[in-house]
Amino acid sequence: MAWDLSEQPQIVQTAAGYVLQGWDVTSKWLLSPAAWSQFGLLVVAFLAAWLVSKRLRPLLTHLLTPKENATSILSTIRRFLLIFVPLLLPLLAYVLTGVGEGITRTLFGSGDVIAFGKRFFLFLAARSLVREIITDPFLKVLGRYILLPIIALYTVGLLDLVTDRLNDTTVSLGNISFSVMALIRGVISGSILFWLGRWSNDQTGTYIHKQEEMRPATRQLAAKAAEITIFGLAFLLLMNIMGIPLTSLAVLGGAIGVGLGFGLQKIASNFISGVILLVEGQATVGDYVELDNGMAGTIVKTTARAMILETFDGRWIVVPNEDFITTRVINYSDQGSSNRYEVEFSVSYDTDINRVPDIVGTAVAAHPAVLDTPEPPDVELRGFGDSGVDFAVEFWVNGLDDGKNKYTSQIRFLIWNALKDADIEIPYPRRVVELRGFEEE
């Protein structure tokens, strides 16, 4: 039966043409002895691949499975290869089908059916890769919505046709014109490149931060430089893949420059301030700092725009990098540097005050955190108060007297116990009240 499609829309006529073309190919396959022989070879190739993979998969799994706690490079490689074992069956079927395709083309001069089967096994391998092997969410999305449709078009023989249509369709943006295929290629390539850039940046940053012999500021600067370099190269590669000349971006670069000069000047200022801080090493991750406005905390993270301080009560303060350059900053730097603290106390006027420095100094020096350098504990006579003689002991420690460290509180306990053991009285305020004008009856 024939249908007159001349009055139908163009899309209907095109679809009908594809259907009729597919029906002609299918009918030739069904009526051709060569096609039936190729179907038979496909079945044989699949059964042979299934039998081989059934015996080979347990052996490969055993050989590639390292010990549970092994951390060597060889163990890492074996773990990486182990995740691809599920691809054994479709890839074996693909290889054996390729051998069968060579045989059929030699005997019958045709191999379209078995070639279709070979592409189908490749599609099964890609499907297994996306479903069972890829675990990264971003790569799984790329595989599901980009890789599998491309392989499906390749399997049914429409990939070249779709590619030609996309290449013929162009899009113009000002002086720049490119095909839809170039745009799709750019999206795919950009996604892969920037994912690789993010992965490379994470690996590079981890490696740099493990270099303990480098100063913390140097490590931060090296990590930032590596990040800029990696993503800069990814951008240049993407422009090259899309076929966009860098000279055509001059107008865009000028617009960005104007934006930086007006609306983005604060962002640019903070970025440059962050680079200066990293180069000079005035403040880096782990330092305890106090700003001119009273904000204080430990630097836990540096970004291109700001530094993040964590206070002892667990709050995070985001401070622009520019504030560290334009205002006064006190850096207590608890990364190995020492700080001096003092504790005041008093003794009774009945005390032989010449004994106090030795008693208190010895007690404070016994604290495991108190340092002998730059100075040992120093007991000073501060004055003669209303209720007793005022003293203060100065001592040096590494770190800060807050958070997990309570140095002054612990030193006060030591002073109290030392004075009590020496029978030295710690005074308390006393007042004499005199009543006048009171007559006894």
pLDDT tens figures, 138-189: 888 888 888 888 888 888 877 888 888 877 777 776 666 667 777 777 777 7
Looking at the structure, tell me whether residues 323 and 362 fall in a common domain. Answer: no
Q: What is the pLDDT of residue 312?
A: 76
Number of domains in the chain: 4
Question: Is 129 in contact with 100 (CB distance < 8 Å)?
Answer: no
Per residue in 242-255, pLDDT tens?
666 666 556 556 65
* pLDDT higher than 50, residue 215: yes
Looking at the structure, tell me whether residues 321 and 343 fall in a common domain. Answer: no
Per residue in 82-106, pLDDT tens?
888 888 888 888 888 877 777 776 7
Q: What is the pLDDT of residue 275?
A: 75
Looking at the structure, tell me whether residues 254 and 272 fall in a common domain. Answer: no
Percent of the chain with pLDDT over 90: 11
Residue 254 or 353, more confident: 353
Residue 13 forms part of a structural domain:
no
Residue 49 forms part of a structural domain:
yes
Looking at the structure, tell me whether residues 191 and 247 fall in a common domain. Answer: yes
For tokens 């836990």, the residue is: 300
Per residue in 408-417, pLDDT tens?
899 999 999 9
Q: What is the pLDDT of residue 1?
A: 44
Residue 25 forms part of a structural domain:
no
How many residues does the structure list for the chain? 441
Residue 187 forms part of a structural domain:
yes
Q: What is the pLDDT of residue 365?
A: 92
Looking at the structure, tell me whether residues 293 and 323 fall in a common domain. Answer: yes
Q: What are phi and psi of 199, to 5 degrees?
A: -65, -45
Residue 348 forms part of a structural domain:
yes
Residue 333 or 85, more confident: 85
Looking at the structure, tell me whether residues 274 and 343 fall in a common domain. Answer: no
Select from 331, 360, 378 the last residue of a domain. 331
Per residue in 270-289, pLDDT tens?
777 777 777 776 777 778 88
User: 238 is in which domain, residue-wise?
Assistant: 176-261
Looking at the structure, tell me whether residues 72 and 146 fall in a common domain. Answer: yes
Average pLDDT rounded to a whole number, residues 297-314: 80
The mean of the pLDDT values for the chain is 77
Select from 157, 185, 209 the last residue of a domain. 157
Looking at the structure, tell me whether residues 123 and 202 fall in a common domain. Answer: no
Ranges of H-type helices in 129-211: 137-142, 148-155, 159-168, 180-209
Average pLDDT rounded to a whole number, residues 392-401: 85
**Residue 108 — very low, low, confident or very high, per pLDDT cuts 50/70/90?**
low
Residue 276 forms part of a structural domain:
yes
Looking at the structure, tell me whether residues 270 and 296 fall in a common domain. Answer: yes
Question: Is 343 in contact with 392 (CB distance < 8 Å)?
Answer: yes
Task: Report DSSP letters for 248-285, one per residue.
Answer: GGHHHHHHHHHHHHTTTHHHHHHHHHHHHHHHHTSS-T
Residue 427 forms part of a structural domain:
no
Select from 199, 227, 261 the last residue of a domain. 261
Looking at the structure, tell me whether residues 245 and 277 fall in a common domain. Answer: no
Residue 132 forms part of a structural domain:
yes
Q: What is the pLDDT of residue 405?
A: 72
Percent of the chain with pLDDT over 70: 76
- The 10 Å Cβ neighbour count of residue 388 is 21
Q: What is the CATH number of the domain that holds 365?
A: 3.30.70.100
Q: What is the pLDDT of residue 345?
A: 93
Looking at the structure, tell me whether residues 189 and 85 fall in a common domain. Answer: no
CA of 219: how far to CAs of 196, 204, 207, 305, 422, in Å? 22, 11, 10, 18, 52
Average pLDDT rounded to a whole number, residues 109-114: 68
Looking at the structure, tell me whether residues 119 and 76 fall in a common domain. Answer: yes
296 Cβ neighbours under 8 A, 6+ residues apart:
288, 289, 290, 309, 311
